[in-house]
Amino acid sequence: MAMSHVIWPLGIAWFVALSSTASAGWMSKILSRPAWCALSRLSLCVYLIHPVVILLHYLSTRTPLFVTPFTMVFFFIGHTMLSYVAALVMYLGFQSPFVALQQLTKSV
């Protein structure tokens, strides 16, 4: 268990070194797909909205929740999907217009 604290950062450092020298091969091809770019734009919004989604869900329940593996998986999938939908709305409503405005002001 103690070695995992050393091996994980070394693996990440090795991957960063390979990626910076353009010799990551198949992994670089996977990570350069356009789908990752779209998810990276949503990641900040999901990070900001996810605790709010969880908090609203738990504050709106009127009865105690009984924790089972099924309910935890159900809540995880539901919270994640709702967070991504809310993040998409937040991105399209706030972040995207401000990025476009910033690009317009830089070009002037």
Look at residues 42, 52, 55 and name the one whose alpha carbon lies nearest to residue 85. Answer: 42
For residue 90, give every residue at least 6 positions away whose Cβ sits within 8 Å of its Cβ, in sequence order, or none: 45, 48, 49
The model carries a pTM of 0.71
CA 89 – CA 45 distance, rounded (Å): 9
CA 96 – CA 23 distance, rounded (Å): 33
Label residue 16 by pLDDT band (50, 70, 90).
Answer: confident
- For the cut 80, the answer to whether the pLDDT of residue 28 exceeds it is no
pLDDT at 24: 75
Label residue 50 by pLDDT band (50, 70, 90).
Answer: very high
Q: Is the dihedral of CA 4, 6, 12, 18 positive or negative?
A: negative
- For the cut 80, the answer to whether the pLDDT of residue 3 exceeds it is no
How do residues 91-107 score in pLDDT, each as one tens digit?
999 888 988 898 888 87
Domain ranges of the chain: 1-32, 34-107
State the average pLDDT over residues 79-101. 92
CA 82 – CA 89 distance, rounded (Å): 11
